[in-house]
A and B are shown apart, each in its own frame.
Chain A
Amino acid sequence: MTASRAASSLQRATIALALVAVAACAQQPIGVSVRTFNRPIQLALVCLETATGLGRSMEDCRLDSSGVSPPGLAMHALVLQEARGEVAAVDLVARVVIDTDPAIPGYSFVPVAPLPVSIAVPTVTPSCAFVASAGASEIAAIDLRSFRRESASSAETYPALELPSAPTAMVLDPSEHALWVALTERSSVARVELDGCAFGAVEEIPLSPDVPPSTVGAASDDRSASRFCPTTYEPEPSPTTSPRDVAPLDAVARPAVLAVGRELLVGDRALPIVHRIDLETHAELAPFSVGATLRALAVTPEVPSGYDAGAYTMERFVYAIDDADGTVLAIDYGDPSSPSFGAVLPIGAGSSSRPDRIPFLAGARTLEIVRARYDASEPFAQLCDPASFPRDVRAPQFSVLRGVFLVAGLNDGTVRFVDVFDSDALCRGRIEGSSADCSNVSEPFVYIRRHHPRLGVTPSTVGVVANDVSFVVNGATIRLSDSSSELAEVSCPPTLRPIFGASGDGRSARVCGHTDPFEALPEIWVANWQGPLRGTQATGIFSTLADGRVALDSSIDACAAGVLGSEQAGLAPAPERDLTAGDVIAVTSTLTEEMAGDERCQAVIGIEGGTQSARPVLIPIARAVTRPDELRAPFTSRLLVASDAPVLDRATPGLGIADVVRCFGAAAVRFEVRVRDAYAVTGTRSGALHRVARGSDGTCAIDPSRPTSRQSRARPGLLFANDAIAFEIPTRPASDSSELRVTIGTVPPTLNLDVGAASSVGGARSLAMPTDLLFNDVYQRLYIVDVERRGLMETTMEPLQYTQTRFE
């Protein structure tokens, strides 16, 4: 037997090799692009003399009016290569990655200690680049001449500064005579004096672990820092938010990120605060308690509170990435005497569950502030005058960036922009010289709002319209008109506006939704008669309990999906008590071979009275429980059914749960949970909103503390309204196969750069993970580091677009 097995293996082996050989002959060689970078993570810019490699002031590299670099000088990007522990140099004028030693095959970069984490280069009198490395707990000073082939041999070497623990972040002091270094493991920051390329005294400043109560800013009307066309457009107001109560993850500070504002700002990955260190005295100031541990910080320059040069105050903001989930928050960093100084500001867009966050649909990885043609000392100097547009820039539009903007690199491979102070705001939507506001037919609608993502198109409609409202009945689509009687006219709830079938009063419509592009999500809302709750499609097993009830155990999270049994529905407050009497199990499995011939079992699955096709077995749920103690792995939820529960919608009398258990036995059955006598309302992006939560005993019940606008069951004849949509279907449907579909398809997308699509050779898109952003004031360009494949990219601001070369 063994021999025959061996022979069999050999036969298979031979066949496989033959097939491989045949396949190999037919294949074309695969082109593989050679990459010089290996996991680039951060960059710094420096102006160098191309002949000597000596550093020059950043200003010396400023381009002339024709965009030409001064002769003999070139801006260079120094890019940390994490995987190899090197620093690569890119000549941004010659547009080449520099191979510092052509005698060695492949590209040679400047080696540094393992795991470089940060690089800093003085901008005024640069002679060395400073690289902090976690692998050797040191800071190295690298003679800038090392980066150019012509001068590498004359570069000096300097002793590295050994640190007491691994550095996690490093920034240059504004004086450029010191470095600040975060020492996470020692709960401190260190200040390192610099004397040219030499390191001087090191001062370690321990950080306090005290966490004051977190604070949030008051809701405000930010119209003065906004601009909308048409002028009648009313954005939804910023909501009132509550402080987040985040428990410290450690008893001591864990500084992780640094930024320089008026003080040194230190983001902590264990404590939900921003430490502040006075740059002169090096004393620790009262922290900002922001209710979040942080992974990135960015500080704006001072910006006017609005676009009226006659009435404004100067404001300033810190943006940060919440380390818990990658969301982005805004912190008031303006007037220190203001009660909201250091508070997290309400933004109120996208998802009402996160009103204190900028509404990105993906987590953020890195932040930067763009200061395009902006001088904080003369904030209105570049403000566009509608009477006379500037001649040296592109016409104002969404893709022309002049002013102050937050830039965020996201997990989804894009770079997004957030409006802070748009110097073109007053000219947007206008015709030059026209006295009429919002008169530009090529940009009829403008939305600029501080702390909100910048829109990336010129939309053709105001806000959002339900551009496709239809009923699907038995597979046939019936498109509804503005006056279709299939939907009743309703008065829109205060947070929603007419989006379909609006009446003359401006408040009533057939469908209400968000008209604010920052609030709306492009998605399809489906109201499915007795439809399933999302997340409940699974496989489960019936069992009969000692008290006679029947349990269906499965791995769904019933409470998270919003399942309500009849017991809890009966106890529910309004509005749920009017919307549901409890959900039902819908078993969709077929009978086992053994039971297939059983006439009563056939009736259970709907084959009765001449009906030959099976139908779902609907069984009312008495109680839904998540993670009860008695449930064993791998199951997480138990749907309890009363011992006398009937099988619904069957002609055969007396069919009940006992029949179901007998017919399916202990076999795993496929099922879903459906709403009963109601439409299940689900958004393709938002999902099913609900107030169901797991109680202390695991029972799924209404949590009255949650907003009543979180609903997913629509009863005929009653107004349905949730966070995003409102309508009323006046009557029960004639057919069980009936659903209302509302397509929200005209939400303007936000301005973004797809990093994976950046290409100079017309190649296919590649995957991307932007990991560092740097705006250069001298070149007025944004630099993007993609750790995956794209390497280093460069974009212009007027308009926003990639330059023709990328460096990888």
Chain B
Amino acid sequence: MLLAVTEGSFRALMRPSFVTSRAVAHDRASTLARGLLGATLLVAGCAVDNVGAAPTPGELNFPVAVAVTPEASGRQFLLVASSNFDLRYNAGSLQSYDLARMRDAIAGCGDPPCSFDDARAFLVSEVWLGSYTTGMALSPRGDRVYLAVRSEVDLSWIDLDPMTGALGCEGTGQPETCAPRRRTTEVATSCGRTPEISGDPVGVVASRVSNLGGGPSELDYVVMVHRNGHASLFLDHLVEGRPEPLLVDVTDGLPYDITNISFEPASELVWTHSSYNGARLSRDVGFVGVAYDEATPECSQVVPAGRVQLRGVDDGFDTRDAAFSADGSRAYVLSRRPEAILTLDLANQPLFPGEASIDRLSHVGYAPSRIARLDVLGREILAATCFDDRKVWFVDGGTGRTSGVVPGFQGPFELAVDRAGELVWVVDFRDSVIRAIDYAPLETGAEPRLVATFGRVRPVQVLR
């Protein structure tokens, strides 16, 4: 298999596809890239035919994404994707944990925080996939997990049994190593175009096509956004009666240097968040929408849907995530410049056209990374992981005041709200563990608290 460097990522030249083969033309750049890589390999002195070490089953290795599955027959699961950031193994992983047992363990913890070093005791299922997962989305049906995976430059799609938590991806071995066709997607060519994915994927969202006027269907649409300002649209199509994602369109024209995306369900718009890049400064938050073609779904399109500038703050050049109020009237944009939650008024026109209407700034800790909204007795509370601060901050969305600062992390990153358990699950990237915060104390005005760590702490000195 030949390799070429594109947009700072590695891409397989011959990509498997069941509809069309997405071959990337040889060009001078790829030739040069191969030469450079060859030279590097010589320097590194590596045995390139070595398949590498397989991950240790049940182990977390730089977890980057977490989600709570919707309840199905009274059962829920915690999904955790490990990125294999240090490339210690030859694959990343997706694991599902039995949420009820984890909650029970926390409930039985007499003196929190408790540590449950052997997370395998709660593990239900695991599959292995490409390294460098950057985003995860759960199908609204609850039976599929979509992952944006940098090493694949494509969408990986994993089946989930919502009642048992079993993961499957047509792979072999135990845990399963996902089949290649589950680590890439087919390409629709019937609409007179051959979309081609470009750029490092940085995030993925999934929603129902019925929300776009697609009739009473349970099929999904998935938008994956790339660092280089591109977006890819996947639509479910039925193969032997089962939905499978199909790449139907790509677009460019989004802001550059995208690091993450968020999804505003009321408008079905994907928000893009770009990081500070000294060469390209942008205060823009961009939007991506999907124009669904009900008659010929494969002709549906993903389109840039505008952008707004963040002005009147110091300095608006780096945002990382967003959460949205339940009524869709406010957006809570997590910013690194400044390190704050920016409350945006989505209901009223801004004083200056084209600029976001920023009502309030609420400071959080150093290097905020991800945000999620909780609803506590009618109040909107925002939980923000702050990577360099090694804490999770809780801010009242209505007042902008700090509601809690929870320490005890080394590298808090992605988080998921477990409403039934009144817990916030946080993946700790630096320690490769899952941690749980009990947010029930917010109901009485007290601070949330760290109550449990799942997994054996494996600190990585280089990231400290």
Binding site for B on A (CB under 8 A): 1-19, 21-22, 39, 41, 82-83, 85, 114-115, 117, 134-137, 165-166, 168, 184-185, 256, 269, 295, 323-326, 351, 353-354, 361-363, 365, 410-413, 534-535, 537-541, 553-557, 560-561, 592-594, 632-636, 666-668, 670, 685-688, 756, 767-769, 771, 787-788
Contact = CB atoms under 8 A, between A and B. Distances in A.
Contact of A534 (B351, B354, B400): B354
A14 B130 contact: no
Contacts of A413: 313-315, 338
Contacts of A351: 351
Nearest to A3: B51
A326 B269 CA distance: 27
Contacts of B313: 362, 411-413
A2 B170 CA distance: 11
Contact of A555 (B12, B130, B289): B289
28 contacts: A5-B180, A6-B52, A7-B52, A8-B1, A11-B3, A11-B41, A12-B131, A14-B41, A15-B37, A15-B40, A39-B365, A83-B365, A83-B405, A115-B402, A135-B446, A326-B360, A362-B311, A362-B313, A363-B358, A534-B353, A535-B306, A541-B303, A555-B303, A557-B349, A632-B213, A634-B287, A635-B291, A687-B352
Interface stretch (B42-50, B56-64, B453-461): B42-50
Contact of B391 (A2, A15, A83, A540): A83
B447 A2 contact: no
B46 A634 contact: no
B211 A82 contact: no
Nearest to A354: B351
A777 to B, nearest CB: 29
A41 B269 CA distance: 36
A2 B172 contact: yes
A5 B289 contact: no
Task: Please report whether the interface of chain B is mostly helix, strand, loop or mixed according to DSSP.
Answer: loop
A219 to B, nearest CB: 22
B192 to A, nearest CB: 6
Interface of B: 1, 3, 10, 12, 16, 37, 40-41, 43-44, 46, 48-52, 87, 90-91, 130-131, 151, 171-172, 177, 179-180, 183, 192, 211-213, 251, 253, 267-269, 287, 289-293, 299, 301, 303-306, 311-315, 337-340, 345, 349, 351-354, 357-361, 363, 365, 389, 391, 398-405, 445-447
Task: Please report whether the interface of chain A is mostly helix, strand, loop or mixed according to DSSP.
Answer: loop
Contact of A771 (B151, B306, B315, B363): B363
Contacts of B299: 666
A557 B348 CA distance: 11
Contacts of B401: 117, 134, 168
Contacts of B131: 9, 12-13
Contacts of A633: 211-213, 267-269, 289
B253 to A, nearest CB: 7
Given A18-B43, A115-B405, A411 B3 contact: no
A347 to B, nearest CB: 15
B52 A9 contact: yes
B10 A12 contact: yes
Contacts of A269: 398-399
Given A2-B177, A9-B151, A413-B314, A17 B87 contact: yes
Nearest to A413: B314
B399 A11 contact: no
Contacts of B399: 168, 184, 256, 269
B177 A756 contact: no
Given A12-B3, A16-B87, A363-B361, 12 more contacts: A7-B48, A115-B447, A325-B345, A363-B360, A411-B314, A555-B267, A555-B289, A560-B353, A592-B192, A634-B212, A668-B301, A685-B352
Q: Which residue, of A11, A362, A670, has the highest number of chain B Cβ atoms within 10 A? A: A11
B48 A11 contact: yes
Q: Which residue, of B51, B340, B358, has the highest number of chain A Cβ atoms within 10 A? A: B51
A7 B41 CA distance: 14
A2 B183 CA distance: 11
B293 A135 contact: no
Contact of A411 (B50, B351, B361): B361
Contacts of B292: 632
Q: Which residue, of A14, A117, A667, has the highest number of chain B Cβ atoms within 10 A? A: A14
A82 B402 contact: yes
Nearest to B87: A13
A726 B3 CA distance: 62
B404 A2 contact: no
Contact of A687 (B345, B353, B359, B400): B353
Given A13-B90, A688-B353, A361 B312 contact: yes
Contacts of A365: 361
Contacts of A593: 192
A137 B171 contact: no
A594 to B, nearest CB: 6
A401 B313 CA distance: 26
Contacts of A560: 349, 353
